[in-house]
Amino acid sequence: MAFTLEKLLRKNILYLKPYSSARDEFQAKAEVYLDANENPFGSTGLNQAYNRYPDPHQQALKQQIARLKRVAPTHIFLGNGSDEPIDLLIRAFCEPGQDSILITPPTYGMYEVSANINDVRVLRENLNEDFSLDILRVLQHARKEQPKLVFLCSPNNPTGNVVARIEELKYLAQHFEGIIVVDEAYIDFCDEREFSALRLLYDCPNVVVLQTFSKAWGLAALRLGMAFASEPIVQILNKIKPPYNINEYTQQAALHALQHASEKELMVEEIREQRWFLSGELQKLSFIEEIFPSETNFILMRVKNANELYEYLLKRQIVVRNRSNQPLCHNCLRVTVGTPEENELLLQALYEYTEQLY
């Protein structure tokens, strides 16, 4: 099937004249900047000055990300977390009150929230009982209902598994006229990182890949998400984003982190080792009915009474996520892999819970 961007775009976005900031109109170096109504004297109470607006297109940061990910900088959009490109994609392609997106529950909740905010209908094609994804069923549903975007989270939150292989994603993209958004927030924890849909960018112009600095890089507080897409889609996202959506501190901190990528790899390996250890110990507990395989930095487990166990852990000052209200996740708790010390505290609390049961 032929993918045509102009057919998918909302007409007002297609013909929109974007806001032009002072830093868009002058991008060279100058002695004196009197064009952006900035405070010329510095920043209150800070050792470093943040009185100048940041680069609205984050060019230095994109150059470094491009080297790491082996894609051209023109294929990169940076957002305020992954939530910003999720919202912008829906706003760019979905006419309020008319168009739809398709999601595969249980999955990340912001796809539906962003659609609801933008008055866009949400179609659902649930995962199978074992949390696998039937790509052919998704394609059949998409062809019938014609959503503008299909959101696939892989590795999936909250289930932890890779739900779609590269070949399946490619087949879906080539046989669907809309946009396929592959959310890879947890791809760094995958046993086989070649699962990444980044390999499809140049063959499938309707694929968008989301990644983030929040998880493996340990920069959740900075709110920096990455969207990788064809140049026309990136241009559309740049057209409708706020002028300075990534602040200067975040840009500089991310650049510093990228210069220490080996430290990130060490943290990822430690988390993977702790995931293996924690999974093994949890399987020994009689009240845990199932530990689901994980390719992420968390473990989903089905227990006999999720609400009771959740409240018990809260009393022990241990916070996990109760996912029992999600489709197919009855009595399921999601546990983030912590430090060795945090994991031992969790296990000790669970051992004592076992003693109370018997």
Domains recognised in the chain with CATH numbers: 5-259 (3.40.640.10), 262-357 (3.90.1150.10)
For residue 194, name the pLDDT band (cuts at 50, 70, 90): low
**What are 38-73's pLDDT values in tens digits?**
999 999 988 889 999 999 999 999 999 999 999 999
**What are 216-260's pLDDT values in tens digits?**
999 999 999 999 999 999 999 999 999 999 999 999 999 999 999
Rounded Cα distance, 87 and 107, in Å: 16
Percent pLDDT > 70 in the chain is: 99
What's this model's pTM, rounded to 2 decimal places? 0.95
pLDDT of residue 1: 57
CA distance readout (Å), 338 to 251, 300, 345:
27, 14, 10
Residue 85 identity:
P
pLDDT of residue 4: 86
Asked whether the predicted pLDDT for residue 358 surpasses 80, the reply is: no
Asked whether the predicted pLDDT for residue 297 surpasses 60, the reply is: yes
**What are 92-104's pLDDT values in tens digits?**
999 999 999 999 9
**What are 250-292's pLDDT values in tens digits?**
999 999 999 999 999 999 999 999 999 999 999 999 999 999 9
Give the closest residue to 286 by CA, choosing from 332, 184, 355, 343.
355
The tokens for 296 are 């992420």
Kindly give the pairing relationship between strand 332-336 and strand 321-322. antiparallel
Q: What length is written for the chain?
A: 358
* Inter-residue contact 84 to 137 (CB < 8 Å): no
pLDDT of residue 243: 94
DSSP 8-state secondary structure symbol assigned to residue 128: P
